[in-house]
Amino acid sequence: MGRSATHVVITGLGPVCGLGVGLEPFWQALTAGTSAIRRIDRFETGSFGCPFASVLPEGFDVRTLVPKSYRKGTKVMARDIEIAVAGAHMAVQSAGLVTRGTEGATSVTIAPERFGAHIGAGLIAADIDELTSALVTSTNADGSVDLGAWGNVGMNNLTPLWLLKYLPNMLACHVTIIHDCQGPSNTITCGESSALLSLGESMRVIGRGDADACLSGGAESRVNQMGLMRNWSSGRLRAMPASAQGHELVRPFDAQACGSVLGEGGGILVVESAESAARRGKAPLAELAGFGASQSVCADTLGMDLSQTGEDIAAAIESALDDAGMTAGDIDAIVPTGCAVPEVDAGERAALERVFGARLSTLPIATVVPNAGFCGAGTGALAACAGVQMLATQSIPARLNASATPGLDAAAAASRPAALRAVLVLTTSLGGQNAAIILRRAS
Amino acid sequence: MSVRIVVTGMGWVTPLGHDLEGVWGRMMRSECGMAPITRFDARTFPTTFAAEVRDYDVNAFVKHPQAHATAGLNSRYALGAARQAWAQAGLDERPAPSLRRVGMYLGAGEGVIDTANYFAANVAGWDASAGRVGGAWFDAAQRMLDRAREVEQEPNMPLAHLAREFGIRGPSYNCLTACAASTQAIGEACSILRRGDADAMLAGGTHTMIHPLGITGFNRLTALSTFKGDPTKASRPFDIGRDGFVMGEGSGMVVLETLEHAMARGATPLAELIGYGSSADAFRITDIQPDGRGAAAAMTQALAQAGIDPHQRLDDGRPPIQYISAHGTGTKENDSIETIGVKRVFGELAPSIPMSSIKSMMGHLIAAAGAVEFITCVQSIRHGMLPPTINYANPDPELDLDYVPNTARAAKVDTCLSNSFGFGGQNDTVIVTRWRGA
């Protein structure tokens, strides 16, 4: 046992991404080595150099995943919010919890004031069609927007609650209302590290006795025009050959890696004190044994000069190991960001080499981005769901695309059984926030 | 209490100035930072005024200007506020032994959208026949949008700039819980210190939404004042004529340390942070719990952590909290429910606790509001003065607390409570007390 006095466990998983809604399709796809990355057909991508993404399965309808009385509320949900709401629904179900959001519930199994929510979010882009249809009512002859006309009449074309679809804290807001989480709640916005930082915060809140359980994780959809452009701007997306097949594109830690592909997705996990889980007779899926975080100092504005970050990332891992009362030798598998952006992969690899030394070559790496895409604030939540499920099933999911790289067990491979005591999950963000959690096999 | 947390440095960049004592002096003189919006042509908007930061140059505050050449306004404000806090904490002369043990917890808002180019790209990409944006958008966007300017909009960019400027490498977070963000950041930073995950934290917030879509969004929500007269009279918290908040912008930053760390490096504590509480309304996306339950829960938790009985007067007869920095936005709903919440917590002692809103003078700094209000509390303790709620002309009969109307007041202040409430039902409270020595 580590530095925490309270054992904190994971009792529910709610991954939501292109692979499906909920644990079953997610894990099945990871095990089978299926990728949801396709050419984008949700909107026209014109000359854009990387017109691929993983999007939620056809037929996804958040209205079927909220209580009937809350269906009206879904009208003010950006996609990011829908993913968080769906993830919370699946996680609560998976944990066997009964909340205000459980259809037909007459009593709940968790006290609202002891129920928290920590949900990572990204910078949510406004629906470009909705906004532009309003903007074009107020243009000058040269096509620029006439702010005078916009102020007078144009803005009235936006629904009064327009802003509330795009505030990052609306993910947690809707989730806390639906499930009646009145305890500590927070919205972490640290790019790709948002979800693991949120899991860490839930762990701390429960550890200090301020909550019994939290809905925790993150969600984001950047599969929209501005999302693509922003990730192009930061060099996370790069030009792909026109003939490319989406499912073959993402090659983490491969010398031929040529950038990432976006996905929409994320997940909510139920983080709970071991005592609370035991009280309601729920067997934990894994123990959340350790957490650590650090900041990288990155010299350039676009966050691409990551050559010096290995030591910073390693500091987060070491602090998580220390928190868990473990050493590097106790870790049997790793789920890194693995986004196939060469500079990001190199920083993570340098950190892993620093922490694990020669043993790294024998430690299986699991990757999620080749299957579900790079999901921003949701990416760590999917990685954490995978890590928990690896421990619960004692197996390593299949890996896609990557060719063999000396010193790293990360090349394409089929799923296989493995004896796993503990798994390290790691994310690094554009902006330099690094977060690591240690998951331990439930005893 | 196991680990004691002290404030050793403070800084702010606000519509009332960019230095600690100058801004404080202006609040003591009841000055107001509101004026017609200059950042863009807002003359036809329902709201035409705001409290803007003026005459601010980030290069006066940073040692590495090149590293921040593309920084957005939010990061620029954060750098200025953080430099002041860093300097007051003496972190250059008496550095922290390890910058890996120094972290950051910010409640920073997103960067300013590149409105003109973004709007133009959208219009250029519009396919009128289809009623949607077409593939031409990408050509326009790649031509018009600047890469760095887009990346700088990510809400964690202030963290990146602060790390670059100060070399901070410890645990770093940004939370964006709307108007509660930087109070939450200060509270959570304390939790990190108490747990031993870091020895010192740079905490606070930074934000500006004074841009066309920011004003549009809040105008559509009818949350902003649309006062038709002198803008300096627009923000009227707790007055019966209050008609919404006035947008402000800026940053507040503090250096928090464990007492042990501060003492070891010979720093001078300015105050001690003794309580933090956080709750969610879990009620509605647009409305606050009308009974003030969520606000009261945050205050009650913070008081419990501070070991303060809200119903027990001190030996000298004063109430246990001598000043409340109200969220006090000047919207009908907030000011009523905050008053109800305070009464719910303090009972019959509530009317004897002065509670003012500096938003009447510097506007609502949104994510950064809580940090500047926290600093205001520490200044109240240090100076023995309470900042006023200006423009308080006509009392609301339902709102019957002591709102420190219109002029600053001398008072013996030892312990203050600061409230922040966010859209979406986030409630956060911190409590700070006079430094009385180890």
- Final residue in a domain of this structure, among B97, B132, B148: B148
Side by side, the strands of the sheet bearing B249-258 are B172-174, B102-108, B200-208, B249-258, B5-13, B271-280, B426-434, B415-422, B323-325, B355-356
Tell whether B34 and B119 lie within a shared domain: no
- CA-based nearest residue in chain B for residue A301: B148
pLDDT at residue B127 is higher than 70: yes
Same domain, B357 and B407: yes
Rounded CA-CA distance A268/A377 in Å is 12
Neighbours of A304 (CB within 10 A): 18
Question: Are residues A431 and B124, on separate chains, in Cβ contact within 8 Å?
Answer: no
* A chain contacts of residue B169, beta-carbon cutoff 8 Å: 294-297, 312, 315
Please name the residue that has the structure tokens 């505030």: A167
Rounded CA-CA distance A263/B395 in Å is: 53
What is the arithmetic mean of pLDDT over A142-171? 96
Query: How many CA atoms does the CB half-sphere of A414 hold within 13 Å?
Result: 2
The 10s digit of each residue's pLDDT in B180-211 is: 999 999 999 999 999 999 999 999 999 999 99
Q: List the end-to-end C-alpha distance of chain A, in Å, as a whole number.
A: 12
Return the exposure string of A15-47: e unless at least 16 CB atoms fall within 10 Å of the residue's CB, then b.
bbbbbbbbbebbbebbbebbbbbbebeebbbbe
Q: Are residues B251 and B347 in the same domain?
A: yes
Q: Examine the pLDDT at A256 and tell me if it is beyond 90.
A: no
pLDDT at A306: 65
**A chain contacts of residue B287, beta-carbon cutoff 8 Å:** none
What is the pLDDT, as a whole number, of residue A438? 98
d(CA A126, CA A216): 25
Q: Which of B18, B364, B377, B416 is catalytic?
A: B364
Residue A56, pLDDT > 50, answer yes
Mean pLDDT value of segment B285-298: 92
Predicted pLDDT of residue A6: 83
Pair B86, B135 in one domain = no
Q: Which residue of B has its CA nearest to A320?
A: B197
Mean pLDDT of chain B: 97
Share of residues in chain B with pLDDT > 70 (%) = 100
Which residues of chain A neighbour B139 with C-beta distances below 8 Å? 46-47
Tell me what pLDDT residue B438 has.
84
Q: Which residues contact A72 (CB under 8 A, 6 or more apart)?
A: none
Give me the catalytic one of B32, B68, B175, B179.
B179
Asked if the ipTM is above 0.85, the reply is yes
The tokens 């340390």 sit on which residue?
A: B257
Task: Kindly state whether residues B130 and B249 are assigned to the same domain.
Answer: no
Task: Let me know whether B276 and B231 are in one domain.
Answer: yes
Q: Is the pLDDT of residue A299 over 80?
A: no
Q: For chain B, how many structural domains are there in total?
A: 2
Of B100, B119, B220, the CB nearest to A163: B220
Q: How far is CA A181 from the centre of its chain?
A: 21
Does the pLDDT value for residue A140 go beyond 60? yes
Which of A115, A155, A164, A295 has the highest number of chain B CBs within 10 A, making it the mutation to test binding with B? A295
> Which chain B residues are Cβ-neighbours of A47 within 8 angstroms?
135, 138-139, 142
Residue pLDDT, tens place only, A323-359: 999 999 999 999 999 999 999 999 999 999 999 999 9
Is B74 in the same domain as B206? Answer: yes
- Domain architecture of chain A: domains with CATH: 8-125+166-441 (3.40.47.10)
What confidence score (pLDDT) does residue A110 get?
Answer: 97
Whether pLDDT at A413 is above 80: yes
Q: Same structural domain for residues B177 and B38? A: yes
pLDDT value at residue A443: 85
Check B156 against A191: CB less than 8 A apart: yes
User: What value does the mean pLDDT take over residues B89-93?
Assistant: 97
B130 and B175 together in one domain: no
Answer yes or no: are the C-beta atoms of A205 and A184 closer than 8 Å: yes
Residue pLDDT, tens place only, A175-194: 999 999 999 999 999 999 99
Between A169, A234, A312, which is nearest B426 by CB? Answer: A169
pLDDT tens-digit readout, A3-29: 567 899 999 999 999 999 999 999 999
List pLDDT tens digits, range A367-411.
999 999 999 999 999 999 999 999 999 999 999 999 999 999 999
Q: Is A189 close to B282, i.e. CB distance below 8 A?
A: no
pLDDT tens-digit series, residues B26-56? 999 999 999 999 999 999 999 999 999 999 9
Mean pLDDT of A266-295: 98
Q: Contact, B204 vs A146, CB < 8 A?
A: no
Q: Looking at the predicted structure, is the pLDDT value of residue B224 above 80?
A: yes
| pLDDT for the residue numbered A302 | 67
Question: Is residue B32 annotated as a catalytic residue, yes or no?
Answer: no
Confidence of residue A1 (pLDDT cuts 50, 70, 90): very low
Nearest-CB residue to A204 (from B191, B281, B283)? B191
Q: What is the pLDDT of residues A228-242, one digit of tens each?
A: 999 999 999 999 988
Closest chain A C-alpha to B192 CA, distance in angstroms:
9
What are A63-79's pLDDT values in tens digits? 999 999 999 999 999 99
Mean pLDDT of chain A: 95
> Do B320 and B212 have their domain in common?
yes
User: Which residue in chain B has the smallest CA separation from A233?
Assistant: B147
Distance (Å) from the alpha carbon of B319 to chain A's nearest alpha carbon = 27
Q: Which one of the listed residues B68, B161, B261, B327 is annotated catalytic?
A: B327
Same domain, B217 and B249: yes
* Together in a domain, B133 and B273: no
Q: Which amino acid is it at A102?
A: T
Domain of B428 in residue numbering reads as 5-112+153-434
Residues 6+ apart with CB under 8 A from B315: none
For position B381, which CATH number holds? Answer: 3.40.47.10
CA distance B412 to chain A (A): 33
pLDDT for B233 beyond 70: yes
Residues 6+ apart with CB under 8 A from B430: B183, B186, B187, B190, B273, B275, B276, B302, B370, B374, B417, B418
